[in-house]
């Protein structure tokens, strides 16, 4: 098997994300094409090595398949489960443009570093093997301030994860306890200690008796309640 020497190609962007699912009738195995055929990623994903935008369409068109497969003799059912009503793969258009495959490839980044498991994939559409933000943070450090976020994210609208709703600060504890890696993708430990001082019960923002004494803290403006409480 040839090393996955040129990729970071399978339809990527920094973020984000990552929960896109396809319903596809295509029969395609990356594992077979890479291990048996020894195909290079650029043979199907043309332009990946020069792509500077995460929004570039790097998915192969059907004509690309004809570079290796004979258009006249290849049976449609080799690739399509239902040739009479083939499902057309959607083109992903909602990626942030702030991602350069070219730059990452020039730095020697292997395909599988970002697109984990793609070299073993036997089907198309199983999550697309798109990297989550936590994957990016395996190489990239947490920015020192919010402005650093916009090196990858275009605006605040696509920076906040979907679960960061209005009462997130009040209810984030369970996630923080069970998925700290996700938290560390954006937040340093100092972010937590702004509220959690260590002496608090179970690292909560307030001591056990705070429900009784909180009016005094509010009166002397010991802290800003609205940081966590919206109403």
Q: 45: which DSSP letter?
A: S
What are the angstrom distances between the C-alpha of 197 and each of 100, 125, 217, 221, 228? 40, 45, 16, 17, 16
Backbone angles phi, psi at 99, to 5 degrees: -155, 130
Distance CA 177, CA 40 (A): 42
Q: Is 0.75 surpassed by the pTM of this model?
A: no
Distance CA 120, CA 127 (A): 13
Return the pLDDT at 143: 72
Sign of the alpha-carbon dihedral angle for 15, 19, 22, 28: positive
Domain ranges of the chain: 1-146, 168-227
Per-residue pLDDT of the chain (231 residues; tens, 9 = 90+): 333 333 333 333 333 334 444 556 788 889 999 889 999 999 999 999 999 988 888 888 888 988 888 877 678 888 888 888 877 776 666 667 788 999 999 999 988 899 888 888 887 764 567 787 778 888 887 776 677 777 887 776 667 776 777 778 777 877 777 776 677 777 777 777 777 765 554 556 666 667 766 776 666 666 667 666 655
The answer to whether 137 and 185 are in contact (CB under 8 A) is yes
pLDDT per residue over 105-144, tens digit each?
A: 999 998 889 988 888 888 776 456 778 777 888 888 777 6
List the one residue out of 8, 148, 19 whose CA is nearest residue 94.
Answer: 19
């Amino acid at each position: 098997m040839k090393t996955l020497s040129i990729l970071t190609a399978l339809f990527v962007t920094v973020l984000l994300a990552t929960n896109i699912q396809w319903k596809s009738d295509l029969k395609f195995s990356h594992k077979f094409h890479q291990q048996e055929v020894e195909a290079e990623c650029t043979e199907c994903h043309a332009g990946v090595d020069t792509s500077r935008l995460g929004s570039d369409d790097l998915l192969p068109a059907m004509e690309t398949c004809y570079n290796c497969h004979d258009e006249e003799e290849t049976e449609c059912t080799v690739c399509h489960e239902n040739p009479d009503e083939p499902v057309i793969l959607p083109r992903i258009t909602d990626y942030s443009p702030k991602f350069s495959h070219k730059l990452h490839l020039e730095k020697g980044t292997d395909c599988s570093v970002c697109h984990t498991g793609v070299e073993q994939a036997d089907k198309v559409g199983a999550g697309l093997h798109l990297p989550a933000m936590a994957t990016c943070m395996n190489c990239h450090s947490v920015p020192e301030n919010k402005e650093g976020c916009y090196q990858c994210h275009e605006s605040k609208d696509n920076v906040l994860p979907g679960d960061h709703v209005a009462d997130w600060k009040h209810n984030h504890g369970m996630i923080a306890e069970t998925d700290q890696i996700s938290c560390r993708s954006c937040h340093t430990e100092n972010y937590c200690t702004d509220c959690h001082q260590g002496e608090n019960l179970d690292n909560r923002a307030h001591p056990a008796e705070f429900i009784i004494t909180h009016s005094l803290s509010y009166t002397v403006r010991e802290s800003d309640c609205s940081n966590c409480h919206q109403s």
